[in-house]
Structure 1
């Protein structure tokens, strides 16, 4: 079904199919470990017409073939506009290339809006085309804005017919409590390190161990960074380049990604200042701060900057200011 199966999903999929007692499951865990893939696998399994009790989809029946082609009439995948094409491509499902941005035209939304939910409800109320379940996957569930989430509540609580939901989230705490309470939780933890490294090696990722550490053990994110051109060597060089004030270390990065990298660096430096090892960088890559106070102030500044990272007035000046701020904080912490 999927273009790239994630081997660590086999056990949680089998467990979910065996233990699911609700019409709505909430797949939750850290980003980059396969929440969407697991939710889609659940959907295909629920729709499969030739599987045994608590078994995953067979992949051979007419329903599975329709699902793989992206034309199953009883399946809906609800995504924000900004994620739609990339998410469908990663799943091996048909997608439409997004139009090139035009001047004055709004950017694709990162929210799931109420209009999309209303269209979904029309689908949910229709009779199943193949006489089995109708299944809805929503990802990321936290992208439902307040109006959209409230519009979904009644159907989520009282689904018509054999309607089933698989919500996938990497920030389930931000969901409405009324949404969470209507779903059976399905935790998806980080995969075992050996499984993640084997998968990354199969994708041709050099320096997989360093990139896996850089992403906090999230193999999908490590692969995405590799595909974007980031190497382990470049990542390990980042702390000392930033400490020297080299703007070029981050000049090719979008502001949100640059802030994320600096937050990881700040986190590791705070740990080092307390005599603990870093989490995202190798020990040899990190300066040795003596004081945590300047780093904690820097962390607060980064959190404020992150709230505006998607809309900087001038990205290059923004990056330059971030690097200068980082250099100042690291130097103060070393004194």
Structure 2
């Protein structure tokens, strides 16, 4: 069972605004870390709730409970299989069997077979005699064939069928998908509001909330993730100098994706400093002198290439050694 999360204040305000609108298809768009998934699920809950109010779902009816335990018959969740497994949404019997029998790995994209099942779902009668909802997240993980499969149903759904799509990369969606939805652009919370939320969610004091808020670049979800990463704010501040000395110990137990994210943040801040702009993730006084631009540009390209395969790294131990050595080399280039 998964208990419903309390929406962040800025998401609650946007939920109320969306609920006041009419339309059968909503696209929630914005940069990563704003809570698109949480808002999409809250919207689906409100649409299906037996006793909804201006604030959203009641959280107490049988419909809300069914969503909490991932068994609502009138909610179709369209996600990559990897994300379904992470978030606790059940796969279809045949898909689960194929994965259990190791015939294939879980897909990182929304497969056309899943899109066809969603279309078939919209053509059935509501199990509860109310609305039916299709939730698509991240919508940018629809491949072209899967997106085209949804188009006609998205444009002219059966009565009582509603769609909520959410994405952190709206520019990657087919224009035909975007044109069939009412787009809601999610906005960044203010620093004061975001840090207050971070203190409440993470049990942090004001100083720690301030440190993680700025370490995330003002991205609420990322700030919360960093606060639970096992690093202390003091360790975060010392990371640039530690990496320049070749000390990888603070990151050694973290997954490759998290390690790569730190390196990209550090490279970004050094490029900003080299260009005369303020840093975003690390305080400027904790950064080493910026290396020559050509060194930073090459390092940045290498990190972007590494990001393409970071979810399935080959020999993670050797990869960490290579990243640590490369970071040390790049960070000390200014001293040569």
Whether the 8 Å CA contact 1:43–1:166 is kept in 2: the answer is yes
Pair 1:258-2:256 in alignment:
no
Matches of 1:290 and 1:78 in 2, distance apart? 45
Q: State the shift of 1:103 in Å.
A: 10
Partner of 2:300: 299
Matches of 1:62 and 1:109 in 2, distance apart? 32
Matches of 2:298 and 2:335 in 1, distance apart? 14
Partner of 1:47: 48
Whether the 8 Å CA contact 1:13–1:38 is kept in 2: the answer is yes
Alignment match of 1:183 (pick from 170, 181, 184): 181
Q: State the shift of 1:300 in Å.
A: 1.4
> Deviation per CA, 1:98-157, whole angstroms, max 9, x where unpaired?
99x989664322111112122222211111223322111111111222221221111111
Matches of 1:102 and 1:334 in 2, distance apart? 53
> Deviation per CA, 1:42-76, whole angstroms, max 9, x where unpaired?
11222233345x65223344443444444332222
> Deviation per CA, 1:9-33, whole angstroms, max 9, x where unpaired?
1111111112x34311111112222
Q: Secondary structure at the match of 2:239?
A: helix
Q: State the shift of 1:255 in Å.
A: 2.4
Partner of 2:6: 4
Partner of 1:15: 17
Partner of 1:87: 87
66-75 or 266-275, larger mean C-alpha shift: 66-75
Pair 1:26-2:27 in alignment:
yes
Q: State the shift of 1:281 in Å.
A: 0.7
Whether the 8 Å CA contact 2:24–2:161 is kept in 1: the answer is yes
Q: Secondary structure at the match of 1:77?
A: strand
124-133 or 69-78, larger mean C-alpha shift: 69-78
Q: How does 1:102-141 map to 2 (within 5 A)?
A: 106-141=104-139
Matches of 2:178 and 2:40 in 1, distance apart? 16
Matches of 1:305 and 1:178 in 2, distance apart? 32
Matches of 1:124 and 1:104 in 2, distance apart? 31
Matches of 1:24 and 1:195 in 2, distance apart? 29
Matches of 2:101 and 2:123 in 1, distance apart? 39
Q: How does 1:147-296 map to 2 (within 5 A)?
A: 147-202=145-200, 203-205=202-204, 207-289=208-290, 291-296=292-297
Matches of 1:151 and 1:291 in 2, distance apart? 49
Unpaired stretches in structure 1, ≥5 consecutive residues: none
Matches of 1:7 and 1:85 in 2, distance apart? 28
CA distance 1:226–1:50, change in 2 (3 Å): same
Q: TM-score, normalised on structure 2?
A: 0.87
Partner of 1:317: 318
Matches of 1:307 and 1:124 in 2, distance apart? 35
CA RMSD of aligned residues (A): 2.6
Q: State the shift of 1:249 in Å.
A: 4.0
